[in-house]
Structure 1
Amino acid sequence: MLSRPRRNRSSAAVRNLVRETELTAGHLVQPIFLMPDAGARLPIPSLPGTYRLGIDEVLREIEDCRKVGLASFMMFPAVPEEHKDKTGTYATSEENFYLHAARAIKDRFPDVCLISDAALDPYSSDGHDGVVIDGKIHNDESLKLLDAMAVAQARAGFDVIGPSDMMDGRVGSIRRALDSEGLTDTGIMAYTAKYASAFYGPFRDALDSAPRQLADVPSDKKTYQMDPANAREALREGALDAAEGADFLMVKPALNYLDIIWRLHDAHSLPIAAYHVSGECAMLLAAADKGWLDYEQAATEALLSIRRAGADVIISYFAKDFARWNAK
């Protein structure tokens, strides 16, 4: 008997019946770049359609996102140079606009999921995710600072802490710090497999967070972020993060690392997150601007591929647009 798979592609109704992968706004997280100026709305030239926003504009943006079904947001601070130092002390300051913004967001929208960024690079005068001592990124000294940052973020209202630093042992250290302060309901989205990728450029433009070109400081993050050549290492990182108390395991970037998403999905029962990073999105936007690709179709296909690979959560600059296209 001749098998004809095309029968299950014969109409939109039939195709919907047999569709294997579901992608909804509920799977997506919209990144937000926050500035201290409350009314700011500054475009990011290398990532068209994305802006650095002050808290007044952030509240409007979240309200717009809620109307199309988005309920989860990951916020990153663009910290002025005058607030940066070697140990990122502004991260836990009572004056930190990032913490004030989290409180304002949760006051206005208590039902949203707000995910933090926990790393030193936005606050560090060296531009690194950990503290630099004698020309090296010092792992264990960084943990103390990350613990304090995570506690301050949780107290400000963040539902989930996102340690993006790739310091060894940071998930367990943060979990103990949160629990010791009674913050047991605050989750941890571990950047489990964060690769030393070429695709972070627009993000670093947005936050001015690239490693500084200084004589005694590494000019890249290869001593702590993962080598793009390695896959088995991601499984080791996943096992460690899960054992230390992570609530999500993240892969970053996403499209060039679909195999890593699948490996972690296959190996763990924890939800898998994937960060569809700025460079991945900027490439597609540039091609769409040239008329070489259809933005809606290509962006949807990219997000579907990440979901199909096993991601339960997708952080993407396309989240709001996708939700808008599919809002009925």
Structure 2
Amino acid sequence: MKRLLAAVGIILVLGIVGVAGSYFYWQSRLDAPLALEAPVLYQVPAGAGFNQVVAQLEAQGILEDAWAFQVLARVQPERIPRLRVGEYELTSGMNGLEMLALLGSNRVVTYPLTLPEGRSFSQLRDLLNNAPKLEHRTAELSDEEIMTLLDREGTFPEGWFFPDTYRYHLGMSDVDILRQALVRMENILEEVWAARSDDLTIETPYEALIMASLIERETGAPEERREIAGVFKRRTEQGMRLQTDPTVIYGMGDRYQGRITYADLREATPYNTYVIDGMPPTPIAMPGRASLEAAVDPLPGETLYFVSKGDGTHHFSRTLREHNNAVNRYIRNR
């Protein structure tokens, strides 16, 4: 009897030791570093279950013991996060449990997309269509259909998207970027308009958006924006035409090949400010915040003309004679 009890005791001890050993081995597999020498991108597929994901990670050589995590899902399901679709960066210093926490977080890999100031809506669409890993929902849509999709039916799209760098992740679409840029422009325009000067010649926020687009296309020099706005304001007050080349170029559309002629300046288009009075009917580009602020706060002064000096800045003149001399100096001689 004593021998039997001793044998049973030994078996129990061995069983306990075996269970404990198995448990600690299992835990060690959960805590083991990923089998990586360098960071890799892993995409959680849409609709994939937990077991499918860990099996895929093992097949790709990232995770060595998928069984340990499948056991965890059965005995301690509360420790398994709900996996989120997207791309994640897995690193060599990460263990399996840390990886699972990452795959259940919102720390997905993101990509930048810069919408530069002064670009047209057509150029913006080209940037979106060429953005990698972005779902292209608008590629085959017309401009009108895009604005309807953005709940702005009947709105002409030019100028309504704020230029900035936006970040997106796998699963986002060009519509998401457009919606962000549209809402930002609406909010910033409202904010800038609320802080406008008292003696403007423009009367509505939309006119401010149009004016800002002209300023944006005329100069990239920050110190000139308010002075150009001042020139346009004084020209309007004196009944002069704005005569700004970017409106001619915009009215030419695809016919523009890098230069404009005297015939182009005389061509009657809705945008040619050498021919029409006042501003064009719509913006001609995406203005940045600085141009929006300049449009509603023109610099006081007496200048009525400006001409490019060829270095990104302009020579400003008060009289036509001074302006013609500047044209001879900076344009005709060149």
User: What range is the shorter-chain TM-score in?
Assistant: under 0.3
**Which has the larger share of strand?**
1
What TM-score results when the alignment is normalised by the length of structure 1? Answer: 0.22
Larger radius of gyration: 2
What TM-score results when the alignment is normalised by the length of structure 2? Answer: 0.21
**Which has the larger share of helix?**
2
